[in-house]
Amino acid sequence: MAEPVPPLPSGADFARQGTPSFLTPNANFYRIDTALVVPQVRAEDWTLRVHGMVDSELSLSYDDIRSRPLVERRVTLCCVSNPVGGPYVSTATFVGVELADLLEEAGVRPGARQLFSTSADGWTCGTPVGAALDRERGALLALGMNGEPLPLEHGFPARMVVPGLYGYVSATKWVVDMEVTTWNARRAYWLERDWAREAPVKTQSRVDRPRESATVGLGTVTAAGVAWAQPTGVEAVRVRLDDGPWREADLAADVSDDTWRMWRIDLEITEPGEHRVTCRAVDKSGSAQTGERAPVLPDGATGWHTVAFTAR
């Protein structure tokens, strides 16, 4: 049995107002992988090797992992290639073993900087060793997701999950090998293709309602959406109608600093015609989401999300 997360508080999302559900059902969880065909790895054939700059190499079977103390953790995962307002962000309750436990058991040697992981299909990923070892961050070698074994598409039998880092530097699916090394010794798949080595998640927020190009009636219109700033957490979301003043949105229950937070606000629309709604988040360290536009390459998009709609 896993050490469980507390039950999800009621009011963790504003799904009735148009946000996603707080937990993303596995079938709807976004997917990014380079594999054209999903690797089919049988649990009984799987082993994870931990080696490199360690005192003692580990070679672990699925049963070895499953019989260790398991923990549950709710994490919002997102992709560096997500454009402002985009869909590549989802949340699940993952279950697995603490990555720090495995690495400490192997004994990370001084001077190690990169945890270089490889999947069954040969994809590679470089994670800062410090992030993988940081117990407060709570990286997992995950076996399950939302109460089920990992679906094949999401990395069965095991994958990495590191809160606060974009997936391409942290979330290796079908992971079979972890080499503790330096940055110079190994270059991961997306690093070879001009993406950044360090890729912490950037604070973002999104308008889910009204939808782009929607038509709404005059009067009160409820806008709603999501914001994320893992691992710092979302403190506030501010919303603006057209060029009006920024107003504080209502936030859904605060579940975890590693997960997204839903927002909603009532807008009074008195003028028929075209309108715009824009949102921006503030994280719990007091840093505001920047409005400066940056493209997804090399380390994640920035800018505020604006949705245009019509009232009549």
Among 77, 142, 237, 307, contact with ligand MTE (rule: CB under 6 A): 77
Stretch 134-163 residues interacting with ligand MTE (CB under 6 A): 154
Stretch 84-123 residues interacting with ligand MTE (CB under 6 A): 119, 121, 123
257 touching ligand MTE, by CB under 6 A? no
Q: Measured at CB, which residue is nearest to Mo ion?
A: 79
Q: If we measure between CA atoms, which residue out of 95, 161, 153, 91 comes closest to residue 132?
A: 161
- Residue 259 binds: one of ligand MTE, Mo ion, none (C-beta under 5 to 8 A by kind): none
Q: If we measure between CA atoms, which residue out of 266, 201, 262 comes closest to residue 9?
A: 262
**Which one, 54 or 171, has the nearer CB to ligand MTE?**
171
Among 138, 167, 225, 303, contact with ligand MTE (rule: CB under 6 A): 167
Least CB distance from residue 171 to Mo ion, whole Å?
A: 8
Least CB distance from residue 81 to Mo ion, whole Å?
A: 5
204 touching ligand MTE, by CB under 6 A? no
Binding mask 26-65 for Mo ion (x = CB under 5 A): ------x---------------------------------
- Residue 31 binds: one of Mo ion, ligand MTE, none (C-beta under 5 to 8 A by kind): ligand MTE
Least CB distance from residue 295 to ligand MTE, whole Å?
A: 16
Least CB distance from residue 89 to ligand MTE, whole Å?
A: 9
Q: If we measure between CA atoms, which residue out of 238, 305, 243, 239 comes closest to residue 274?
A: 243
255 touching Mo ion, by CB under 5 A? no
**Which tokens in the block code for residue 66?**
């499953």
167 touching Mo ion, by CB under 5 A? yes
- Residue 172 binds: one of Mo ion, ligand MTE, none (C-beta under 5 to 8 A by kind): ligand MTE
Q: How far apart are CA 63 and CA 278, in angstroms?
A: 49
174 touching ligand MTE, by CB under 6 A? yes
Stretch 11-50 residues interacting with ligand MTE (CB under 6 A): 29-34
Number of residues that bind ligand MTE (CB under 6 A): 18
Least CB distance from residue 96 to Mo ion, whole Å?
A: 19
Q: At a CB cut-off of 8 Å and minimum separation 6, what does 211 contact?
A: 18, 307, 309
Least CB distance from residue 81 to ligand MTE, whole Å?
A: 7
* CB burial of residue 41 (10 Å; 0-12, 13-18, 19+): buried
**Which one, 77 or 115, has the nearer CB to ligand MTE?**
77
Return residues touching ligand MTE (CB under 6 A): 29-34, 77, 79, 119, 121, 123, 154, 167-168, 171-174
By CB under 5 A, name the binding residues for Mo ion.
Answer: 32, 79, 167-168
